[in-house]
């Protein structure tokens, strides 16, 4: 009985055999290919950093000057250095029923 891939044996072997999914030979990348890979990588990194630094469509935010004065004697809210009241509820124990 003939092999199912006998018609491929008569042809010249290629670099990659799709039936066995194996590489017949190893071809290292040329200097030009390596330089192209490095150049594309560097251009991509620089482009991404520029997009992070100079955000397209981003507008600078204007921070209002309301409440940026220092606290006067006896003032505790709406000033720099004032109090921020925070409510903190204790956690319920794990064994208590809900």
Domain extents in the chain? 15-53
| pLDDT, the chain, mean | 75
- Which positions ≥6 away from 77 have C-beta within 8 Å? 83
Q: What percent of the chain has pLDDT over 70?
A: 63
Whether the predicted pLDDT of 92 surpasses 70: yes
Whether the predicted pLDDT of 39 surpasses 80: yes
Q: What is the dihedral of CA 6, 9, 14, 15, to 10 degrees?
A: 80
Separation of alpha carbons 51 and 57, rounded Å = 11
The pLDDT value given to residue 32: 95
């Amino acid at each position: 009985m003939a092999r199912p891939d006998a018609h491929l044996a008569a042809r010249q072997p290629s670099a990659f055999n799709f039936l066995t999914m194996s590489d017949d030979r190893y071809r290292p990348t040329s200097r030009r290919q390596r330089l192209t890979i490095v150049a594309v990588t560097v251009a991509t990194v620089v482009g991404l950093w520029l997009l992070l630094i100079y955000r397209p469509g981003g507008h600078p935010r204007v921070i209002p000057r309301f409440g940026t004065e220092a606290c006067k004697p006896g003032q505790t809210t709406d000033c720099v250095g004032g109090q921020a009241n925070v409510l903190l509820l204790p956690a319920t124990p794990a064994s208590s029923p809900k």
